[in-house]
Amino acid sequence: MPNVAVVGATGYLGGEILRVLSSHPRFQVTTAVSKSRAGEKLADVAPNLDGLGEVILTEGTSALDADVAFLAQPAGEAMKVVPGLLERGIRVVDLGPDYRLPDPAEYARVYGRPHDDPGNLPRAVYGLPELFGENVRSARLVANPGCYPTATLLAVAPLIERHAISGPLIVDAKSGTSGAGASPSATSHHPEAAATVLPYGTPEHRHSPEMRAVLDRLPGPRVSLVFVPHLVPLVRGILCSIYAHPTEAGGVAHFEAIYRERYRTSSFVRVGTVPKLPWAVGTNRCYLSVQSAGDAPVIFSAIDNLGKGGASQAVQNANLMMGWDESLGLTRSGFGV
């Protein structure tokens, strides 16, 4: 049974990876890394996890021995350890942003610091399996997409590939507060976020360059992007309302037909009625819906920001890297309400 390490195990994403892996039929968690809680039992830090209680949290990755390492760290941290992990033959799924942008100069512009491992950027595969799954299968280093890009790209990529829309592409996105991480900030702290809807990330959210980089790779027309995220008083979930100009007649039925054809073999994309976030929370699913709004269709996309937008998608990528069915350990139902 392949051994797995989770680095950043006590953050929200790290904890969600451990939760998903706790019921995975083939992966075995042997190492959990947390600088702030090193030496403690995982059972004492995360009593909700079943079957991983005897794992002792460690401080670093220098002695890490695993087949796959999941890195759930802030920007600038993964690039410090990825070269050493790859040299030791460990497959890596990075849930942070360090390997999502192929251009190191663009990374420096967006994140305000130089990229310390530009040599591995060409080796990194962007891990959106529904679009790039065949590339993921042969990868040793996967850049797990951001949560907003996952929800947005799954909704717009099939339409761009079919030349069905033109820009500007307007994405009005709303996310729960867990997307801001476990350390409260001036905006994500509960007293600040509980009774408001807060637009943020203007004039350019950090996920916008990531989305543009992928959009530019797609076969089809170049489209401009207008992306505005909002923080809403929920813990988990992302709902995107997406507006674009249809290039031909057909409206809702035409868009739906494109989605159903593009995702007919997908394990995790559902096309249907307007989604509710609880359907997606706790799952690896993306729910897509097309509705009429005046003279043009509007697209709705819903995911769990910690699930399909993070931890469960990382496990989906790891399944592919191991040559397994992508859905292993990821078939649980959503909450519903």
Per-residue pLDDT of the chain (337 residues; tens, 9 = 90+): 899 999 999 999 999 999 999 999 999 999 999 998 998 999 899 999 888 878 999 998 988 899 999 999 999 999 999 999 999 999 999 999 999 999 999 999 999 999 999 999 999 999 999 999 999 999 999 999 999 999 999 999 999 999 999 989 999 999 999 988 888 788 888 898 999 999 999 999 999 999 999 999 999 889 999 999 999 999 999 999 999 999 987 789 999 999 999 999 999 999 999 999 999 999 999 999 999 988 789 999 999 999 999 999 999 999 999 999 999 999 999 988 8
- Cβ proximity of 226 and 170 under 8 Å: yes
Q: What pLDDT shows up at residue 250?
A: 77
Asked if residue 153 and residue 264 are part of one domain, the reply reads: yes
Asked if residue 95 and residue 117 are part of one domain, the reply reads: yes
Residue 331 counted as domain residue: no
Residue 328 counted as domain residue: no
Domain of residue 223 covers 148-303
Asked if residue 152 and residue 299 are part of one domain, the reply reads: yes
Asked if residue 195 and residue 100 are part of one domain, the reply reads: no
Of 197, 254, 278, 266, nearest in space to 230 by CA: 197
Residue 334 counted as domain residue: no
How are beta strands 198-199 and 225-231 bridged, if at all? antiparallel
**E strands in 83-204:** 91-94, 124-126, 141-143, 165-175, 198-199
- The 3-state DSSP class for residue 332 equals coil
State how far the Cα of 174 lies from the Cα of 81, in Å rounded to an integer.
33
Question: What's the domain count of the chain?
Answer: 2
State how far the Cα of 37 lies from the Cα of 227, in Å rounded to an integer.
37
Asked if residue 249 and residue 125 are part of one domain, the reply reads: no
Determine phi and psi for 216, rounding to 5 degrees.
-70, -20
Q: Please, which residues have CB within 8 angstroms of residue 194's CB and are 6 or more apart in sequence?
A: 233
Asked if residue 214 and residue 135 are part of one domain, the reply reads: no
Asked if residue 133 and residue 12 are part of one domain, the reply reads: yes
Asked if residue 224 and residue 93 are part of one domain, the reply reads: no
Asked if residue 135 and residue 223 are part of one domain, the reply reads: no
Residue 336 counted as domain residue: no
Residue 77's domain is classified under what CATH number? 3.40.50.720
Residue indicated by tokens 């819906």 = 289
Residue 166's domain is classified under what CATH number? 3.30.360.10
286 assigned to active site: no
For residue 296, the tally of other CB atoms under 10 A from its CB is 13
Q: What pLDDT shows up at residue 144?
A: 98
Catalytic residue among 69, 147, 269, 298: 147
Asked if residue 256 and residue 153 are part of one domain, the reply reads: yes
Asked if residue 229 and residue 105 are part of one domain, the reply reads: no
State how far the Cα of 21 lies from the Cα of 26, in Å rounded to an integer.
9
